[in-house]
C-alpha cells in the first residue's frame, strides 16, 4: 500500500507524492467482460509506464483462489 500526501505537505506544489490529490491517474473505462460471471471490468486505452499511477483502489480484495472459485461457478 502506498500513502500519498493529501495537500498539506510542507513541499507544497513541489511535492511529488500527491498524484491522487492532483488527479494524475490513467484514464479508465468500464467494459463488459466476455465472461458474464466477471461482469463489468476496467481497462485503459493508453500505454501505462512502469511505476505510473493507474488508479486509486476503493473496493474489496479477493484472494486468487476465491476469485477462481467464483469464475468456475
| Binding to Zn ion, residues 14-73 (CB under 5 A) | 15, 17
Nearer to Zn ion, 15 or 25 (CB): 15
The residue among 12 and 69 lying less far from Zn ion, judged by its C-beta, is: 12
Q: What pairing do the DSSP bridges indicate for beta strands 40-43 and 29-32?
A: antiparallel
Which range, of 6-14, 20-28, 36-44, 56-64, touches Zn ion by CB under 5 A? 6-14
Q: Provide long-range contacts, Cβ within 8 A and 24+ apart, for 22-26.
A: 24/53, 25/53, 25/54, 25/55, 25/56, 26/52, 26/53, 26/54, 26/55
* Shortest distance (Å) from residue 16 CB to Zn ion: 7
CB nearer to Zn ion: pick between 19 and 25: 19
Amino acid at each position: 500500500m502506498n500513502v500519498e500526501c493529501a495537500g498539506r505537505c510542507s513541499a507544497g506544489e513541489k511535492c511529488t507524492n500527491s498524484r491522487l490529490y492532483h488527479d494524475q491517474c490513467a484514464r479508465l473505462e468500464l467494459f463488459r467482460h466476455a465472461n458474464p460471471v466477471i461482469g463489468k471490468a476496467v481497462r485503459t486505452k493508453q500505454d501505462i509506464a512502469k511505476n505510473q499511477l493507474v488508479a486509486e483502489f476503493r473496493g474489496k480484495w479477493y484472494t486468487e483462489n476465491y476469485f477462481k472459485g467464483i469464475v468456475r461457478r
